[in-house]
Structure 1
Amino acid sequence: MAYISLPVVTVQRDFNDVVRDVDEGVVPVDTFWVSCYKSGESSVHAKVDVELDEVDRNLLRFRSKEGDVDFVKSDSVSGYSIACRSLDIPPTAVVLPIQEYNDSERTNPLRPQRITAFDVSPDTTRFATGHLDGSVVIYPSASTSIQQVNTSKCKLVSKAHVSNVSSLTFFPSSRVLLSTGADFSLSILSSEFPESWSESSSGLGTRVNPVRVLRAHTRGVTSACILGLGRNIISSSLDKTLRLWDVPTGDVIHTLEASAPILCTSNGPRTPTPPDGEDTPLAETQDEREMPEVAHTLTYTGLQSGSFEVFDLGTRISIYKSPSAVGGSPINAISILPAQHLLATGAGDGVVTLYDVRSLSSPLTSFRRNDAGINDLDFSPGSTNSECGLAIATTDGLPYVASIIPEGPGVSTELIGVDCDPVQSVRVRNKSEIWSASDDAIVRRYIL
């Protein structure tokens, strides 16, 4: 299907410093730049002057030197919005991170140890990063009043894999972490912090070893999902398999075969009527190591071939496989929002496609901003069931939130702060928090 072209709005990364200098009287007037893009049309670039009002010295005035662009201080939480009349771009919120987590051991600008995997615990008290060398680092999150957080000393460090860490997922307790790697294995790590960080004062962190390593895949493991409280997990691999694991014993309970190497997964509840319209009874024999939730779970997989495939863990079969998009760009990211019956896929050519899981054969819509690949997706539920957004991490370093319902697709929020580095991961927590991790090895926390 044809896709909708969405615009890009970006602003000078340190524009807030420019605004602050004028507001505090450091300089009487200063300037920052704004750029707007839309596929197939000429880009618009503008310089925006900021100065104090001549009468009300507590009021800031923003004036664009090019008339097409409007930069406005708004009443929203984000504080600012940008519109461009010539490109027909409506007011779009621009949001700076409220926190940046910087581990000086890993963010050397000359040789940053880029983040290849990332997750935030369900209770947001900690987050974890994975790296190309197979290391996993777990950090405590800080009070939101701290903007620049140096995390070099307070951390748990594990050499969980011998090569690239491909995914990280916290268990529901927030005290245990699951990692997957290109070394064909999965590792389970404790994320309990020590009572004192004195032993990590050297900056190397407190060393921890995996409490369990799971091996059975014959190629790199790409992702994993935790079922229920975590006795069972499901993993995917470039060996074209999904494997259901019993965590206490480390055994594989079942293996399901996909039609192509699997790059990403997302779990959702079993639908009353499968996408193909034919209901298959549950498997007659249930392994005693399977928790009850396994039988009621569907696993949605993004494939290297450009298709996605749906597996019913209760019947242990594939129940739907989508056609490949033109060009067969791989599906790098997949996310489901069960409450809204929504599925989103993100492809290597930048196309995001939305589906109703009750009718997967007819996509709801497709959109993209440019040809920058999609690295990660996470739904951002609104305050009501009639609202929904989608946080999107891209290879061009321009992450954003797309509005989905009630209006959409459109760009509701631009996430500012990354300097052209690919954003590898994005996570939504507590509805209004968005966390991201990028190749500059910095973790950013936004509040919408």
Structure 2
Amino acid sequence: MSTDPSSDPIILPQVALQHDFTSVFADIRDNTVFSEDIFLSCYQLGLRPVHGKVNASHDESVASPDGILLESRDGVELTRLDSHTFTASCPALSIVNTILRAPRQGFSINPIENTTNVRRISAFDVTSNAALIAIGHYDGTITIQSVSTPSDPEAQKFPLTTKKLHLSSVLSLRFFPSNKVLLSASSDLSLNIISATPPSDSNSLELLAVPRVLKGHKAGITDTAIIGVGRRVLSCAKDGTVRLWDVGKGEKISTLASERFAPIVKMAMSGRIPSSAIPPEPVETADSQTDVDENVIYAALQNGAFNVFDLRTRNLIYASPTSRISSSSKAALGAIAVDDSSYFLATGSQGGFIRVYDSRYLPPQSLFTFQRSNSSIEDLHFVPSKDGEGAPQLLVATGDGFPFCASLHPDGPKVAEELVGFADESVTVIRTDGKGAVWAAGHDGIVRKY
């Protein structure tokens, strides 16, 4: 089987709705304008794109929340299901009733009047109870703010707080399971353990206090992971290493090196050991803990390959062949994700290729490759399964500003939903919270909740 992810990829269509269509709807609803056209474009690699228009006008007889009538033309069809959900069709490209999902909320710390110096988002996370969000920027600042009052009566609302906690780009943010502590990583070679609990009358800690800093990487830290309840954390970096840390002691436990110390750009953690992995010899260390024993790390490399590490032995157990794509910049991986319920492993490249593997085996078995455009894959995230039934869902953040959700069927992938609202700006992070909402953030400085 070819190791080139560009060989015979499945080409998926792409639907783009005018990013500010909600403003158009608001103007019509407020009688600022009577009607206006919005653009709906459909694409498929190798085929001529279709650029259609949809006229939006006010009609009180229309059975919709705001009485807006949609009339499509020029080869496209847009149908409104509710205030945030649409379907789009384009017969010429065999696109039928693709779901378009509009954001329900948007969050930004950029002043409304600031349209030239937007603070781009480089990292993001949301707590499992969807109460707090953390935003990282390229200038080293981190923002934490409350989203809504959580159902947990002991949880506190966190005031909007922005603070420069790193010397350069924040490249990873992860909330601990407690939702009260945040792990940040930066290209300045440091990891910060940050308090995400506002001070009370009996607590003199300042907002976003940093009680612990972890240092040791020799190049920029690109991703992190939290093991169990958070006594141990992982970091990976462009120095070609994954490091395991003891948070309480503030010390490195061990270092795992990628093949030939290739720079690591992202990693994903699994609780399942591949069936063909060699049973480990006991690791006799004072720091051994059961929350480390059953974890496997999949590391995406800048050279287009991925490595697999076994934390039971602290060893590299598999290194995939490097890609044979002619352009090394397009071959470089930019994202990786693993889903323990479906056994799917997915990698995304700078050339827009997403390759899906069966992670039950070593080496992982390649299942299929798909692509929508030549734009980079910035982030991948599996949607947690609620009942174990149905096709696994993979969220994809892209460099062209068209994030989407792919449904991974046995016979190949399908576009499940388009996440609309971005204006051709790179989407760098995509996540889910414990309540089922999808969050996406990127270079336009806005966090969107779907």
Look up the equivalent residue of 1:62 and give its one-letter code: L
Aligned pairs for 1:329-348 within 5 A: 329-348=331-350
Counterpart pick for 1:182 among 179, 187, 191: 187
Aligned pairs for 1:186-197 within 5 A: 186-194=191-199
Aligned pairs for 1:24-39 within 5 A: 28-39=34-45
Residue equivalent to 1:155: 160
Query: 1:413 offset after TM fit, Å?
Result: 1.1
Kindly indicate whether the alpha-carbon contact (under 8 Å) linking 1:335 and 1:344 is maintained by their aligned counterparts in 2: yes
Residue equivalent to 1:245: 245
Higher mean alpha-carbon deviation, 57-66 vs 186-195, is at 57-66
* CA deviation profile, 1:240-288 (whole Å, cap 9, x unmatched): 1111111111111111111111111111013262xxx352324331x33
Change (3 A) 1:347 1:393: same
Residue equivalent to 1:148: none
Residue equivalent to 1:202: none
The share of aligned pairs that are identical, in percent, is 35
Look up the equivalent residue of 1:394 and give its one-letter code: T
The CA distance in 1 between the partners of 2:268 and 2:62, in whole Å, is: 53
The CA distance in 2 between the partners of 1:332 and 1:416, in whole Å, is: 22
Query: 1:62 offset after TM fit, Å?
Result: 2.8
Residue equivalent to 2:169: 164
Q: Secondary structure at the match of 2:93?
A: coil
Residue equivalent to 1:308: 306
* CA deviation profile, 1:219-260 (whole Å, cap 9, x unmatched): 111111111001111111111111111111111111111111
> What TM-score do you get using the length of structure 2 for normalisation?
0.87
Change (3 A) 1:237 1:60: closer
The CA distance in 1 between the partners of 2:358 and 2:84, in whole Å, is: 30
Residue equivalent to 2:393: 389
Kindly indicate whether the alpha-carbon contact (under 8 Å) linking 2:76 and 2:89 is maintained by their aligned counterparts in 1: yes
**1:374 and 2:377 correspond:** yes
Counterpart pick for 2:16 among 10, 14, 24: 10
Look up the equivalent residue of 2:248 and give its one-letter code: P
Aligned pairs, number: 425
The alignment yields a C-alpha RMSD, in angstroms, of: 2.6
The CA distance in 2 between the partners of 1:182 and 1:20, in whole Å, is: 41
Change (3 A) 1:54 1:215: closer
Kindly indicate whether the alpha-carbon contact (under 8 Å) linking 1:160 and 1:209 is maintained by their aligned counterparts in 2: no
Higher mean alpha-carbon deviation, 166-175 vs 44-53, is at 44-53
The CA distance in 2 between the partners of 1:54 and 1:157, in whole Å, is: 44
Query: 1:430 offset after TM fit, Å?
Result: 3.4
* CA deviation profile, 1:298-353 (whole Å, cap 9, x unmatched): 01100111011110000111111112222241111111111111111111111111
Look up the equivalent residue of 1:362 and give its one-letter code: Q
**1:350 and 2:352 correspond:** yes
Residue equivalent to 1:230: 230
Residue equivalent to 1:85: 91
Residue equivalent to 2:315: 317
The CA distance in 2 between the partners of 1:214 and 1:170, in whole Å, is: 16
**1:210 and 2:205 correspond:** no
The CA distance in 2 between the partners of 1:107 and 1:317, in whole Å, is: 52
The CA distance in 2 between the partners of 1:358 and 1:107, in whole Å, is: 52
Residue equivalent to 1:97: 103
Q: Secondary structure at the match of 1:324?
A: coil
Kindly indicate whether the alpha-carbon contact (under 8 Å) linking 1:109 and 1:440 is maintained by their aligned counterparts in 2: no
* CA deviation profile, 1:75-131 (whole Å, cap 9, x unmatched): 6x8431101000111211111111111213598321112111111112211111111
The CA distance in 2 between the partners of 1:380 and 1:57, in whole Å, is: 32
Kindly indicate whether the alpha-carbon contact (under 8 Å) linking 1:270 and 1:312 is maintained by their aligned counterparts in 2: no
Look up the equivalent residue of 2:371 and give its one-letter code: R
Q: Secondary structure at the match of 2:92?
A: coil
Kindly indicate whether the alpha-carbon contact (under 8 Å) linking 2:240 and 2:257 is maintained by their aligned counterparts in 1: yes
Look up the equivalent residue of 1:433 and give its one-letter code: A
Kindly indicate whether the alpha-carbon contact (under 8 Å) linking 1:8 and 1:36 is maintained by their aligned counterparts in 2: yes
Look up the equivalent residue of 2:227 and give its one-letter code: L
**1:63 and 2:65 correspond:** no
Aligned pairs for 1:113-128 within 5 A: 113-128=119-134
Q: Secondary structure at the match of 1:318?
A: strand
Q: Secondary structure at the match of 2:194?
A: strand
Change (3 A) 1:408 1:19: farther
The CA distance in 2 between the partners of 1:347 and 1:107, in whole Å, is: 36
